[in-house]
Amino acid sequence: MNDTAPAWWTRAVVYQIYPRSFADATGDGVGDLAGIISRLDHLADLGVDVIWLSPVHESPGHDNGYDISNYRRIDAVFGTAEEFDELLRQVHRRGMKLIMDLVVNHTSDQHSAFVTSASARDNPSRDSYYWRDARPGFDPGEPGAEPNNWGSFFGGPAWSYHRPTGQYYLHLFTPQQPDLNWDSSRVRQSVYEMMNWWLDRGVDGFRMDVINFISKDPRLPDGLVEPGSAYGDGGPWFTNGPRIHEFLQEMRRSAFSHREGDFLTVGETPGATVEQALLYTDAARGELDMVFQFEHVQLDHEPGSKWEYRELDLRDLKTSWNRWQRGLADRGWNSLYLSNHDQPRQVSRVGDEGRYRYESATLWATLLHLQRGTPYIYQGEEIGMTSAGFTEIGQYRDIESLNFHRDALARGMPEADVLRALRRMSRDNARTPMQWDAGPHAGFSEAEPWISVNPNHAEINVEADRASERSIFRWYQRLIRMRHESPLIALGSCHLLHGDHPRLYAFERLLGQERLQVAANVSAEDLPLPPDLAPGRTLMDNYDDGGDPLVLRPWQVRVSAA
Ligand code: TEU
Say if ligand 1 is within 6 A of residue 306 CB: yes
Q: Say which residue, 503 or 303, is predicted with more confidence.
A: 503
Indicate whether residue 154 lines ligand 1 (CB < 6 A).
no
Q: Which residues contact 344 (CB under 8 A, 6 or more apart)?
A: 387, 424, 425, 426, 429, 430
Best probe residue, ligand 1, of 342, 378, 396, 425 (max atoms within 8 Å of C-beta): 342
Q: Which long-range contacts (CB under 8 A, 24 or more apart) does 163-166 make?
A: 164/118, 165/118, 165/120, 165/121, 165/131, 166/121, 166/133, 166/140
The per-residue pLDDT for range 134-157, each reduced to its tens digit, is: 999 999 999 899 999 999 999 999
Q: How many Å apart are CA 356 and CA 368, to the nearest integer?
A: 18
Quick one: which atom of ligand 1 is closest to the CA of 153? 6
- Burial annotation 511-524 (CB, 10 A radius, 16+ → b, else e): beeebbbbbbbbbe
269-287 average pLDDT score: 97
Contact 183, 69 (CB under 8 A): no
Comparing 307 with 3, which gets the higher pLDDT? 307
Catalytic residue among 67, 204, 209, 352: 209
Q: Which of 177, 210, 307 to mutate to test the pocket of ligand 1 (most atoms within 8 A of CB)?
A: 210
Q: Which of 265, 267, 313 is nearest to 293 (CA)?
A: 267
CA distances from 386 to 248, 379, 416, 538 (A): 36, 11, 21, 29
- Type and span of the H or E element at 261: none
Class of domain 491-561: mainly beta
pLDDT (tens digit, 9 = 90+) per residue, 20-54? 999 999 999 999 999 999 999 999 999 999 999 99
Domain boundary assignment for the chain: 491-561
In which band, very low, low, confident or very high, does the pLDDT at 2 lie, cut at 50, 70 and 90?
A: very low
Query: Is the dihedral angle over the CA atoms 332, 337, 340, 344 positive or is it negative?
Result: positive
Report the pLDDT averaged over residues 515-522. Answer: 98
Q: Backbone phi, then psi, for 559, in 5-degree steps?
A: -110, 125
pLDDT, mean of residues 515-539 = 96
pLDDT band at residue 3, thresholds of 50, 70 and 90? low
- Across the range 171-182, mean pLDDT stands at 98
pLDDT for 303 equals 87
State the average pLDDT over residues 367-372: 98
pLDDT at 1 over 50: no
Is residue 63 lining ligand 1, measured as CB closer than 6 Å? yes
Active-site residue flag, 465? no
Report, as an integer, the average pLDDT of 2-20: 90
Confidence of residue 304 (pLDDT cuts 50, 70, 90): confident
Distance CA 326, CA 336 (A): 14
390 and 428 in contact (C-beta within 8 Å)?
Answer: yes
Q: Are 202 and 181 in contact (CB under 8 A)?
A: no
Q: Is 268 a catalytic residue?
A: yes
Ligand 1: centre distance to CA 125 (Å): 27
Residue nearest to atom 20 of ligand 1 (CA): 66
398 lines ligand 1 (CB under 6 A): no
Nearest to 429 by CA among 470, 466, 398: 398
pLDDT at 547: 85
pLDDT for 520 equals 98
Rounded to the nearest 10 degrees, the angle between the axes of helix 472-485 and helix 357-369 is 10
Q: Give me the sign of the Cα torsion angle 119, 122, 124, 127.
A: positive
